[in-house]
Amino acid sequence: MPLIVLLAALLAVSLVGLMVVRSGDDPEDRSADRTALRAATQATVPTRTAPARTTPGDPAKQRAEQRAGWPVRGAAATRARVPILMYHVIGDVPAGAAYPDLWVAPDRFAAQVEALRAAGFTAITMEELWSAWHDGGRLPERPVVLSFDDGDITHAMNAAPVLLKVGWPGVLNLTVQNLGKRGLPMWGAKRLIRQGWEIGSHTVTHPDVTTLDAAGFARELAGSRKTIKQRLGVDVRFFCYPAGKSDAASRAAVAAAGYLAATTVDPGLAARADDPYLLPRVRVDPSTTPAALVRMARGG
């Protein structure tokens, strides 16, 4: 603002201020002085217009359009071996963290996503993978699933913006007890869903399911699905074993509960020929370089 304009503004405000002091206790005088003060200020100080907000498109519609252009279908899609990446916290490891190997730094994560994209990979959801394997759906040339276990605020704050930038969905394996202030706030979970993320079940309390009796595990399976539906409005079709622990009884319970498939911590690429309730994943830890992750996603 030119100096002379600034001085004029200050002088106008000072003069009106003197009017206010002299006006005594008359309400009408005070009202008139306030009107004069607003007029003097608005006449000399330029206004600022807030930047216009862009309205995001419909993620479901955009995703459907993307799938229509994917080239892999039919027998080729059913034969596809797909890396399901396993992440936990996307953040810098704090001192004294209980499980430092579960953290991946935000800049490392961003570099990994860029390396995957540059290598020709495209992220998909478990639903899209299942559809390609069993229901005639299409796949991109090099599909990859990015799964995030437990439910943490860093999924919304650090992972989601990176994936949104390249138009990729994530898969959140949500432990219901983490939905809230202690883990992933409701606003964060809803943001992920708006951005096209898929929600899977990781139980209610993250127990070792092999130690539960049938009734206890049934409550974890049904309670997780019910709560996610009630609070987030989405249907859950896929399961992830806490800490990857399962046995024949727990796998049978997952199937009986109506889940289509379940993921483990066993290493490898997932294939249609695998037991659907023992799908392997590719673990990503703090030391995984972008180049190493690309090699692992290719089956190295």
pLDDT-based confidence at residue 261 (cuts at 50, 70, 90): very high
pLDDT at 57: 66
pLDDT at 94 over 70: yes
pLDDT at 58: 77
DSSP 3-state percent helix, strand, coil across the chain (nearest 5): 50, 15, 35
The structure's pTM equals 0.80
pLDDT at 49: 30
Mean pLDDT of 282-299: 97
How many Cβ atoms sit within 10 Å of the Cβ of residue 77? 22
pLDDT at 15 over 60: no
Mean pLDDT of all residues in the chain? 85
pLDDT at 67 over 80: yes
Q: What is the CATH number of domain 59-297?
A: 3.20.20.370
Domain boundaries, the chain: 3-44, 59-297
pLDDT at 11: 40
pLDDT at 210 over 50: yes
Higher pLDDT residue, 103 or 62? 103
pLDDT at 59: 76
pLDDT-based confidence at residue 101 (cuts at 50, 70, 90): very high
**280 — alpha (psi -120 to 50), left (phi > 0) or beta?**
beta
How many Cβ atoms sit within 10 Å of the Cβ of residue 191? 18
